[in-house]
Structure 1
Amino acid sequence: MDRVERAAMLHHKGYNCAQAVACSFSDKINVDEKTMFKLTEGYGLGMGDTYGTCGAITGAVAILGFLNSNGNLDGPYSKAETYKLVKKMTALFRNKNGATICRDLKGIDTKNVLRSCDGCIEDAVTILETMLADTAK
């Protein structure tokens, strides 16, 4: 089962969008799935039902941050590079779907659904996989 399929399966099992994306990469960052599940629980529905930034994106951002951070508590100098990666990821997602905000993607105000949750999860996983493959080169 590839990561897109795994993320979709987790979402259909009841994981929120952030959990589905992040947990599908938990092996990549050597964090157990239960810890990742708990860590990302509040990010569903655009961060706890605010319909803000798409949960699929926030799940992917958690993975990007984990992988890119230098983890140096006395010198957290990796932030600028991590922010560049996040900016690239959100730009790719926005270019594909027309928005990064859950409310807009779901068409809550406009009744024009830009992308389903399943589609957002697929896109976030695919974009993250591509970015990780590109940085590994």
Structure 2
Amino acid sequence: MNRQEKAASLHHKGYNCAQAVACSFCDRIQIDEKTMFMLMEGYGFGMGDTYGTCGAISGAVAVFSLLSSKGNLDGPYSKADTYKAVKALTADFRVKNGATICRDLKGMDTKIMLRSCDGCIEDTVTILEKMLDNKSVG
């Protein structure tokens, strides 16, 4: 099973979008699934209310951050590179789907769905995998 299939399977099992994306990378980031599941719980559904960033993106940002941060508490200098990569991830997602906000993606105001949750999860996993394969991260 590839990561897109794993993330879809987790979502259909009841994981929110953030949990499905982040947990599909647990093997790569060396974190147990239960901890990641608990950490990402509040990030689904656009951070609980559809007005925030798509949960799938939030899950990917968590994964990328865990892989790219140097964890240097005395000199947190790796964040600039992490921010740059996250900006590229969200830009790729926005080009593909027209938005990064859950409410907009679901078409809650316009009645025009830009992308389903399953589609957002698939796209985000694909974008993140490509980014990780092209960088010496994780």
The equivalent residue for 1:116 is: 116
**Runs of at least 4 residues off by over 3 Å:** none
> Structure 1: which amino acid aligns with 2:24?
S
The equivalent residue for 1:20 is: 20
The equivalent residue for 1:10 is: 10
Q: In the TM superposition, what whole-angstrom CA distance separates every residue of 1:17-61 from its partner, at most 9, and x where no partner exists?
A: 000000000110100000000000000000012431000000000
Contact 2:50 2:101 in 1 (8 A): no
SS at 1:28 equivalent: helix
| CA distance in 1: counterparts of 2:49 and 2:21, whole angstroms | 18
The equivalent residue for 2:62 is: 62
Question: Do the aligned partners of residues 65 and 75 (structure 1) sit closer, same or farther apart at CA in structure 2, a change above 3 Å counting?
Answer: same
| CA distance in 2: counterparts of 1:51 and 1:17, whole angstroms | 15
> Structure 2: which amino acid aligns with 1:20?
A
Compute the displacement of 1:117 (Å): 0.1
| CA distance in 1: counterparts of 2:5 and 2:101, whole angstroms | 23
* Structure 2: 5+ residue stretches without partners: none
* Cα RMSD, aligned residues only: 1.0
Q: Where in structure 2 are the equivalents of 1:125-136 lying within 5 Å?
A: 125-136=125-136
How does the TM-score come out when normalised to structure 2?
0.97
> Structure 2: which amino acid aligns with 1:9?
S
Number of equivalenced pairs: 137
The equivalent residue for 2:35 is: 35
| CA distance in 2: counterparts of 1:110 and 1:33, whole angstroms | 36
> Structure 2: which amino acid aligns with 1:107?
G
* Structure 1: 5+ residue stretches without partners: none
How does the TM-score come out when normalised to structure 1?
0.98
The equivalent residue for 2:45 is: 45
| CA distance in 1: counterparts of 2:17 and 2:38, whole angstroms | 13
